[in-house]
Structure 1
Amino acid sequence: MTATKRIVVTETVWADLSQMREPGMTFSELIESMIENEKKRRLVEDIQKIQEQEDLVEIEL
């Protein structure tokens, strides 16, 4: 996919993103990695909420 979009960010955000990037990594790759990490974080958070709020029953296999 070769779509090019522009995202407006402040200079501070640009600097922070630049520091997070590994050598040879594109900003697209960095953002993909950040998205994946956020998805995982949300999943863990959702699982923890369910475990706290629900009476779970262990199923033996």
Structure 2
Amino acid sequence: MIATKRLAVTEPVWAELSDLKRPGETFSQLLAEMIEREKKARLVVHLKSIADEGDFVELPP
């Protein structure tokens, strides 16, 4: 059994989410996809900040 939780959102947010949802897609599926995209975006930003610092030590082969 899947546990369900309710999220309170404003009407404008609900409307924006509805516009993003594909036919047949649930809000849960949409939000899961958005979460994955955000995690990847944050990882890219983090890796870029590490690369920009440029303080690396060469490891022997």
Alpha-carbon displacement from aligned partner over 1:28-48 (angstroms, at most 9, x marks no partner): 000000000000000000000
Shift of 1:58: 6.9
| Equivalence map 1:1-61=2 (5 Å) | 2-56=2-56
Q: Which runs of 4+ in 1 moved over 2 A?
A: 54-59
Structure 2: 5+ residue stretches without partners: none
Q: Partner amino acid for 1:48?
A: K
Distance 1:47 1:27 in 2: 30
Percent of aligned positions that are identical: 53
Question: TM-score, normalised on structure 2?
Answer: 0.87
Count of residue pairs the alignment pairs up: 60
Distance 2:24 2:58 in 1: 46
Distance 2:18 2:58 in 1: 46
Question: TM-score, normalised on structure 1?
Answer: 0.87
